[in-house]
């Protein structure tokens, strides 16, 4: 099923439709995002609002909808996909970087609220990955090579690089990991 995460109404109705089709979830992964990056001096309220709604408000509202039920059942996993730009500004981070930094703070607040009831909340922090979200950057071979050179592994990430980390955070193996930001970035963050 699909949902429009650009409005509160769309977020709420998408959550209800998902629960009606699939049942109440044990795992919530917030990976949807938009990446609008005009220079900060040109960033208008429309871009700010759109970015915050999809990248931050949707994960908040979905957490509010599903987190208490997970806590009531005694098990749940909330996983947010954030960004290197939650920790450092580069390539015009603007509202995008702010939204991802706030999303990591949201995970810590959710961890504080629900971890005692068996619900963990964590973030996956990818390095640069060639996805449609990064189309603007990935179309510039020089920038792609420069980002790869900043890693310790010498390449940019692939979507498959995150599967193991996501499965770990979604499983019982991560029961003692909460409020944490797990960097899956080839060493980009420590370079």
Please identify every residue annotated as catalytic: 96
Q: Nearest-CA neighbor of 181 among 65, 100, 116, 113?
A: 100
Interhelix angle for 94-114 vs 58-73, to 10°? 20
In the chain the first and final C-alpha atoms are separated, in Å, by: 40
How is residue 41 written in tokens?
A: 């001096």
Task: Report phi then psi at 155, rounded to 5.
Answer: -150, 165
Task: Report phi then psi at 143, rounded to 5.
Answer: -70, -40
- The β-bridge relationship of strands 76-81 and 27-30 is parallel
Q: How far is CA 3 from CA 23, 62, 67, 147, 189, in A?
A: 16, 12, 19, 33, 33
């Amino acid at each position: 099923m699909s949902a429009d995460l650009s409005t509160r109404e769309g977020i709420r109705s998408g959550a209800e439709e998902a629960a009606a089709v699939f049942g109440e979830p044990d795992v919530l992964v917030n990976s949807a995002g938009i990446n609008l990056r005009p220079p900060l001096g040109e960033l208008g309220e429309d871009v700010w609002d759109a970015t915050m709604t999809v990248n931050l408000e949707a994960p908040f509202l979905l957490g509010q909808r599903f987190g208490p039920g997970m806590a009531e059942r005694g098990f749940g996993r909330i996983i947010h996909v954030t960004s290197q730009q939650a920790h450092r500004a580069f390539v015009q981070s603007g509202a995008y970087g702010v939204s991802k930094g706030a999303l990591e703070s949201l995970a810590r607040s959710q961890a504080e609220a629900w971890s005692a009831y068996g619900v963990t909340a964590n973030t996956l922090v990818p390095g640069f990955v060639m996805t449609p979200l990064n189309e603007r950057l990935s179309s510039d071979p020089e920038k792609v090579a420069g980002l790869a050179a900043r890693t310790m592994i010498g390449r940019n990430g692939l979507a498959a690089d995150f599967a193991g980390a996501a499965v770990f955070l979604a499983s019982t193996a991560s029961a003692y990991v909460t409020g944490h930001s797990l960097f899956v970035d080839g060493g980009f963050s420590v370079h």
